[in-house]
Structure 1
Amino acid sequence: MPARRFDAQRLLLARREEGLKQSDVARAVGVSAARVSAWETGRSEPDPEKLPRLSEAVRRDLNVLFPREGRPDLKDLRADAGYSQAATRKLTKTSTAGPVAAAENGQRRLAEEYEPRLADAYGVSVETLRRAQERSFGHDIPEPDEPEPADVSPDDGATLPATLEGKITYLLEQLPDPLSDAEVAARGNDRTGGQVLTEELVRGLRTGAVADVSDEVLGALAEALDTTRFFFRSGDAGVQRVIAETLALKDQVAAIAARGGEEEGLSAELLAFINKEVAKARAEAVAHRDHPTS
């Protein structure tokens, strides 16, 4: 099952936003300040069981700071409770961590006597523990109270319009401030350093009067609308995900900037994080274009 995603920049920003020193976080987690520095610079990553204490140290929700997609297995439950695998021998009252290790690796299920002890330590019910164990054995069963998947409609942003004009309209609606056709053209030309777009061309693309355009035009239009030209060439779910994440990032940045109110604007660390995420989104789109089936 997917482990929680550790992001060095996200940890660094959270610590600085709370006005904490690396030594403060180190004391809370029980490691050295040098270790925290290594985590924040990406030289190493913390063990999964340290993530809960890290999130508490920087006063962030665990699921927000270190999100995980998918349902937890036994290893995830243990890590979220802050236990190393070696520490579980005290929970099972055995001489080694073998019983837990075997179950987490999908080799041998837990003895029934161990289940209530581990469930109590992990802060879950025995039934939840058993469902997590099944996932460790490759059976991704849902939780009993898990809602049924909702039907996806264009209004919730998960399904994008199929036509070029529809996609342009969709992107325009995501912008915090409305742009005219002339403003879109000027913005695209400024960001690409050329004279590719005109007000009339943008209007024709937006209304559907112009449909067949070059990659150069789509590239300038994408720059104007904070996306990638591959968005206009594909309706694939993978590209949709990249675009949705990019737009969500843009909205979060706008909210942070508005909340900060500092004359200098966004911090260097936040700008570095933004640039990294946008570059990653664009790289994913390029990779998807070049290797659509990989």
Structure 2
Amino acid sequence: MPPRQFDGKRVRAARRGMDLNLDELGAEVGVSGPTVSRWENGEDHPKGEKLPAIAAALGQPLDALFPHDGPADLQLLRCDAGLSVAQAAAIIGTSRAPVSNAESGRRRLSDAYVLPLAEAYGVTEAVLLAAQDCSFGLRPAASRHEQAPAPRTIGEKINYLLEHGYAGQEAPSDDEIARAVNAHAGEAVITVEDIASLRTGATTDASDVVRAGLADALQVDAALFQNDAEVSPAAREFLEAIRFLGSIQRGQILGLAARGNGGGLSTEMMATINNLVGELRHKLPEVQDGD
């Protein structure tokens, strides 16, 4: 899988919004139209180094179209530079082994490789070394305690909810969000292109009707979309809880517990999680009792 999240339905909506057919998008990124079709239908996924070209062809920021969790590791830096393992290896004049071993956390890069790879990836040596630490399971000390900034704009809130609010489920596409907003409003008040513009930051404002529809479509309290100021402490707690539950669903929290101690999560922590699930159950999308 690519190091960034890939949603074929979102790519399809963005492609149609750009009036590109499958062959035209494929030509932009160096693949065939049928290959793009398999990506969009979920039958296959592109290599990570293809994602920057796809985002550029669709006129969208890479982070908005293909988000990723946590700090960058070596694989993410390479893919974001649009380079394959073989191409990165050619830059430092070696076989694929040093690049692959570093990305998989088996053997660190030789000092002689750090500067040329950093330059090829378009980052500083310090950034590349920090990414290498991440590939070896080490996070920078500061990032262990820093809290990510709360989403402020409409687009940031949409992206946050799409990224963290649908663990174990498929997040709605721009087209599905637009249809849900229009259904809530009882008339056509927004298009799929408008949703894409909000998510990418090309548009930063929306009517009260659209804001209310977005809250309904993403199944959160309407207050979350009332303005673009930083969210209230209560809303921030809700958003962080969504991210926390998403981490549990993806196995990140439980995996960390398993590595940290033989007993896994404590009884107290499990009780806290269960209480949190109970409090949020009615707010999370498509969650039924007993799931």
- TM-score normalized by structure 1? 0.53
User: Structure 1 113/241 Cα, relative in aligned 2: closer, same or farther at 3 Å?
Assistant: same
Long gaps (5+) in structure 2: 153-163, 195-213, 220-280
Instruction: Name the residue aligned to 1:31.
Output: 31
Q: CA deviation at 1:290?
A: 3.2
Query: Percent identity over the alignment?
Result: 35
Distance 1:100 1:288, change over 3 A: farther
Higher relative contact order (CA 8 A, sep 6+): 2
Closer, same or farther: CA 132–19 of 1 in aligned 2, 3 Å? same
Q: For residues 52-109 of structure 1, what are the alpha-carbon distances to aligned partners after superposition, in whole Å with 9 as ceiling and x for unaligned?
A: 1011111111101111111110011111111111222211111x11111111111111
Secondary structure, in 3 states, of the residue corresponding to 1:128?
helix
What is the one-letter code of the residue matched to 2:75? K
Does the residue aligned with 1:45 lie in a helix, a strand or coil?
coil
* CA distance in 1 between partners of 2:31 and 2:73 (Å): 27
Q: List per-residue Cα deviations over 1:13-37 (Å, max 9, x = no partner).
A: 0000011111111111001111111
Deviation for aligned residue 1:250: 11
Corresponding residue number in structure 1 for 2:47: 47
What is the aligned partner in structure 2 of residue 102 from structure 1? 101
Give 1:76's aligned residue.
76
Q: Is the 8 A contact 1:71 1:142 kept in 2?
A: no
Which structure is larger by alpha-carbon Rg, 1 or 2?
A: 1
Q: CA deviation at 1:110?
A: 0.4
The answer to whether 1:111 aligns with 2:141 is no
Q: Which amino acid aligns with 1:34?
A: P
Residue by residue over 1:207-228, the C-alpha shift from the partner in whole angstroms, topping out at 9 and shown as x without a partner, is: xxxxxxxxxxxxxxxxxxxxxx
Cα offset for 1:151?
9.4
Structure 1 partner of 2:259: none
The whole-number CA distance in structure 2 between the counterparts of 1:27 and 1:151 is: 38
1:148 offset after TM fit, Å? Answer: 3.7
The 1:256–1:66 alpha-carbon spacing in structure 2 relative to 1, beyond 3 Å, is farther
User: Residues 23 and 88 of structure 1: is their aligned pair in 2 closer, same or farther, counting only changes over 3 Å?
Assistant: same
Q: Name the count of aligned residue pairs.
A: 191
C-alpha RMSD over aligned residues: 4.5
Q: Which consecutive residues of structure 1, in runs of 5 or more, have no partner in the other structure?
A: 158-239
